Amino acid sequence: MTALALGAAVFIGAAAPAPALEEPDFEGRECLSAPYDNPRSDGQRQIRALAMWLTSALQAFPGIVELLRGDGPDLCLAEELFGIQGYYEPEAHRIVIRSGIGVPLRRAVAIHELRHLQQSRIGICPDPGLSMDATARLVLAMEADASAVSLAIAWQLRAAGDASVWEALAAWPSHEAMAEVFRAEAEASGDIGLATARAFTAWYATESLRETYYVAACSAYLDRQDRTHALPRYGSIDDAFLDRLCRLPGGPRYPCAEPADAAAGRR
């Protein structure tokens, strides 16, 4: 079963590479299970260091930190992920991050994937009964939210004295424009929720991202139909799903809005 079909479009990519429709290819994957103790290799020690940083640095975001406790996901590093930097696989309950990226970007990817896990926990995921366009609309909104909220967390870490995650995202080609929109609003108004909303909208304005995820969501939908021989479904979603999706890690809603043609996946 594919990660995308299970309800998480969970990829950060440079220059908007195509998200994987099956579990991404990998080499040399090492994982560590919660509570991320007793590492036995260098890779596992890196994973433990990441987990320790997340639980320490994100204390201001208890809803995120809580995801790492108890039945937290396996955290994994892989030598090669083709076209992506990380993904969350709901069925296996694991987050996989490419090991070759720098530590600040690794932390940024982990935050992004944890947001996808949080989305899954509150029931935001494509349902098999949805139409293809509704599935694509939901996938795009999930990705816009994960990207925008990751920037919000990175900005607040920056304000607390650690600018490394923010700088990694701001320099990353797929997030550069969103980061600039977020920064401009945050500096002008001081309103993190409004800045997050601006970044959410800016995600859709990044045509290469929007096109890539739309095509990937539709392809995964059609692949699932081929595998299961399911009849076409015509279920829809209404705007109320944004009330559950668009919430800052602390709980308050941020005023996200999709473009009018979000369901079509085109500008």
CA-to-CA distance for 48 and 161, rounded, in angstroms?
23
With a cut of 60, say whether residue 11 has pLDDT above it: no
At residue 151, the pLDDT reads: 98
Confidence of residue 22 (pLDDT cuts 50, 70, 90): very low
Instruction: Specify the CATH architecture of the domain 26-121.
Output: 2-Layer Sandwich (3.30)
Burial 47-85 (b: 16+ CB within 10 A, else e): bbebbebbbebbeebebbbebbeeebbbbbbbeebeebb
Q: Mean per-residue pLDDT for 32-54? A: 96
At residue 128, the pLDDT reads: 64
Domain range list for the chain: 26-121, 132-264
CA-to-CA distance for 3 and 20, rounded, in angstroms?
8
pTM of the entire predicted model? 0.85
**180-204 confidence digits (pLDDT tens):** 999 999 999 999 999 999 999 999 9
Cβ atoms within 10 A of the Cβ of 158, count?
17
CA-to-CA distance for 25 and 152, rounded, in angstroms?
30
CA-to-CA distance for 71 and 131, rounded, in angstroms?
32
CA-to-CA distance for 153 and 64, rounded, in angstroms?
10
CA angle 56-34-55, nearest 5°?
10
CA-to-CA distance for 201 and 246, rounded, in angstroms?
12
**231-244 confidence digits (pLDDT tens):** 555 556 777 889 99
Q: Which residue has the higher pLDDT, 160 or 83?
A: 160
Average pLDDT of the chain is 83
DSSP letters, 31-53, are EE-TT-----SHHHHHHHHHHHH
